[in-house]
Structure 1
Amino acid sequence: MRRILLSLGILAGALLAAPALAAAPAAPLLAHQTTLELNEASSAWILTSTALVLLMTLPGLALFYGGMVRKKNVIATIAHSTAALAIVTVLWFAVGYSLSFGTSGEATNGFIGGLQAAFLNGLTPTTAHRLTPGLPEFLWVAYQLTFAIITPALIAGAFAERIKFSASILFFALWHLIVYVPICHQVWGGGWMGSHGVLDFAGGAVVHVNAGVAGLVACLVLGPRQGFGRDNMAPHNLAFTAIGTGLLFVGWLGFNAGSAWAADGIAAVAALNTIVAAAAAAIGWTAVEWIDHKRPTLLGLLSGIVAGLVGVTPAAGFVDPKGAFFIGLLCGPACYAGAVWLKRALKYDDSLDAFGVHGVGGIVGAILTGVFATTTINAAGENANVVNQIVGLLAVMAWSAIGTFVILMICKFTVGLRVTKESEIEGLDYTQHGETIHQ
């Protein structure tokens, strides 16, 4: 009987305590947060877009770049994309997200966020970032992470076939924190560039110009590959590159249309603009190549597609399909000039045209965003201004170039930058990883 009474007493106490527990105040929101007002349709679309953008790095970019190097460097090249994914994910979880999208007050003048959300402290299933109140904040973290992952992986195309793997690891880590995170905050996270009307719908400046300029600095600091300009350095497997291009193309729909942050009309036009610009750029690149080299190539078609995808990225949700068509048509020849004529004239070795395609395409696309943006597509188009776009580009290019150079010097005087001449000739697959591809 005593046991029964004791049990009843415990049960009664628990029932009396329940309302008090339920009424306990929720933890205060962080400065960048708001209470989630769940939009299930948009959340489903951004979940899908997160998977699509992740697909762009692995296996998309890995195969795209892996097919363009010589057979002895395929594994090492794919390893760059894989390492970037692992390193950036951990850093984004630890401090990258908080510094990119957190709020630090006026002290930093819109330069970088704070550390209140370090290690995702303060995030719950019921919180949202104030930029996207309809999306769970954990989803917002994951989606923005995929952009942070692919950006340093793009840079690897510039120094492929000659950098030490240890150097690439250190470079990716430092570059994410010193270069990517501040620029991301300044453009997208409430920083000064976004506040001053710089338009970048899905990453023309934050991703492509940022990575392209860093790639140019990296290839200049490392110097050309052994035999550059003398040996045959043609792609070993264009089928890999074609498959990688297809995966990038599909993933880019999540990249651009997902950047509407909702399943709405702007997402729809961004998706269509992405396809139209890519096709137009492929035609533009191939036309110039056909005149220049007297024959069209598959690599040219594939490069043109990527050039169009890059060029329309900053404009995707601000322009109509006519604007996307002209952006693509202009980016194709512009990127051909950057990847072929400029490289030939200045004799630098941008191995896989990181600057020629992503740098040049991002610059052209960002400027043309100021030309073609229209309020009939997006009300934010009223802020379109070529001068603002150029100011933003100059700021991104300067920070990326200086930051990248400093990071490369840190790598050089710690782990070293380049493999030995003998290792480079033998191939990085075996000398860096002890693995080879047998065909």
Structure 2
Amino acid sequence: MNIRAWMAFTPLWLLFSYTVGAFSLWGGGFLYQWGVIDYSGGYVIHLSSGIAGFTAAYWVGPRLKSDRERFSPNNILLMIAGGGLLWLGWAGFNGGAPYAPNITASVAVLNTNVSAATSLLTWTCLDVIFFGKPSVIGAVQGMMTGLVCITPGAGLVHTWSAMLMGAFAGSVPWFTMMILHKKSSLLMKVDDTLAVFHTHAVAGVLGGVLTGLLATPELCALDSPVPGARGVFYGGGIAQMGKQLGGALFVTVWNLVVTSAILLCIGLFIPLRMPDDQLMIGDDAAHGEEAYALWGDGEKFDVTRPDATRTGGASGAAVTEDTVEQRLTSMGARGVTIQL
């Protein structure tokens, strides 16, 4: 995505899309008054961002075919570190929802950890069963879906329920990502690079539905934003499930429509995609920098260089995907091999 279009999109989406969902589900909004339960943002944050990210990926369009085919991780160690920070921060995210150091906060923190751990193990086990080996990336994705799924009910369900939610969080998004995605023409068409549809939208809806089933009246009475809230299994009736599904539908449709409208309006003034020459080199070219100059060529985006790899450079040669591939390969851009 063009960085300028992204800078215009972010505040507009926060104002016209995210804020509407937040004020509808929290703070006395109409979904709050109706009785939709969302303890800490499973719908408000994760469902909305998952739908918005998927919609934006549709309008921006896919990456180059060569990039999609060889999309190897940039740095798995940093991904693990980032995942650990996310897990740690989520304890404050869910535990801080009551704005007080009380029983609800402690229950929320415990359930957050239980769900994340269970989901991580479930995802890893499925990788082993179906692909023959575990994956660090899969473990982090399982952790993420577990955290997202527990968010709408972190302070409202028992710990055994959090474990059950983690098991679903590690299996349902795994199925949609690994199996259903490859069978759906729409999902295959949209270049959802980080799989936000599965890790946030699917997990967010799943968490909201399970909260509608498993929210206990005792915990809801302590700190639920919805008066008299309780899950279907605790006397809430099938009507509570209808409310949860209705809330998910509203957030989904609103984000789909508003995100599309914002991007189409921005596209009238700013191109949504990066220029072709920058796509050939990579998104680092938009900033004239490299994240990792491991091959000692930190100025390869300098237009003043005679062999600059871009259209209109001093060499005057048009950039093609083949020439960029050859240049990057010659520079060792595919990585550094260390002989031990």
TM-score normalized by structure 2?
0.78
Alpha-carbon spacing, 1:191–1:215, altered in 2? closer, same or farther (3 Å): same
Structure 1 counterpart of 2:41: 203
Contact 2:111 2:150 in 1 (8 A): yes
- Indicate yes or no: 2:216 matched with 1:362: no
Q: How does 1:6-155 map to 2 (within 5 A)?
A: none
Contact 2:37 2:229 in 1 (8 A): no
Residue-by-residue CA offset, 1:120-166 (whole Å, 9 max, x unaligned): xxxxxxxxxxxxxxxxxxxxxxxxxxxxxxxxxxxxxxxxxxx0100
Contact 2:80 2:140 in 1 (8 A): yes
Q: How does 1:277-356 map to 2 (within 5 A)?
A: 277-346=115-184, 347=188, 348-356=190-198
- Aligned partners of 2:265 and 2:181: how far apart in 1? 27
Structure 1 counterpart of 2:287: 433
| Residue of structure 1 aligned with 2:277, choices 398, 422, 425 | 422
Amino acid at match of 2:241: V
Contact 2:47 2:205 in 1 (8 A): yes
Structure 2 counterpart of 1:376: 218
Unaligned residue ranges in structure 2 (runs of 5+)? 232-239, 295-340
Structure 2 counterpart of 1:166: 4
- Alignment partner of 2:83: what SS? helix
- Aligned partners of 1:174 and 1:351: how far apart in 2? 22
Contact 1:226 1:421 in 2 (8 A): no
Amino acid at match of 1:356: H
Structure 1 counterpart of 2:323: none
C-alpha displacement at 1:289, in angstroms? 1.7
Residue-by-residue CA offset, 1:208-254 (whole Å, 9 max, x unaligned): 00000111111122222101686210111111110000000000011
Structure 2 counterpart of 1:160: none
Structure 2 counterpart of 1:217: 55
Amino acid at match of 1:293: F
Amino acid at match of 1:352: L
Identity rate, percent: 34
- Aligned partners of 1:423 and 1:340: how far apart in 2? 31
- Aligned partners of 1:334 and 1:357: how far apart in 2? 10
Contact 2:51 2:256 in 1 (8 A): yes
- Aligned partners of 1:416 and 1:250: how far apart in 2? 38
- Alignment partner of 2:176: what SS? helix
Alpha-carbon spacing, 1:387–1:229, altered in 2? closer, same or farther (3 Å): farther
Contact 2:35 2:229 in 1 (8 A): no
Alpha-carbon spacing, 1:323–1:228, altered in 2? closer, same or farther (3 Å): farther
- Aligned partners of 1:426 and 1:228: how far apart in 2? 12
Alpha-carbon spacing, 1:182–1:230, altered in 2? closer, same or farther (3 Å): closer
Residue-by-residue CA offset, 1:52-96 (whole Å, 9 max, x unaligned): xxxxxxxxxxxxxxxxxxxxxxxxxxxxxxxxxxxxxxxxxxxxx
Query: Structure 1 residues 365-374 or 418-427, which shifts more?
Result: 418-427
Unaligned residue ranges in structure 1 (runs of 5+)? 1-162
- Alignment partner of 1:314: what SS? helix
C-alpha displacement at 1:333, in angstroms? 1.2
C-alpha displacement at 1:361, in angstroms? 0.5
Contact 1:338 1:355 in 2 (8 A): no
Residue-by-residue CA offset, 1:171-206 (whole Å, 9 max, x unaligned): 101101110111111111211011111111110000
Structure 2 counterpart of 1:238: 76
Alpha-carbon spacing, 1:310–1:230, altered in 2? closer, same or farther (3 Å): closer
- Indicate yes or no: 2:121 matched with 1:267: no
Amino acid at match of 1:224: P
Alpha-carbon spacing, 1:181–1:271, altered in 2? closer, same or farther (3 Å): same
- Aligned partners of 1:435 and 1:175: how far apart in 2? 28
Give the RMSD, CA atoms, in angstroms: 1.4
Contact 2:9 2:266 in 1 (8 A): yes
Contact 2:56 2:259 in 1 (8 A): yes
- Aligned partners of 2:204 and 2:68: how far apart in 1? 30
Structure 1 counterpart of 2:257: 402
- Aligned partners of 1:229 and 1:360: how far apart in 2? 26
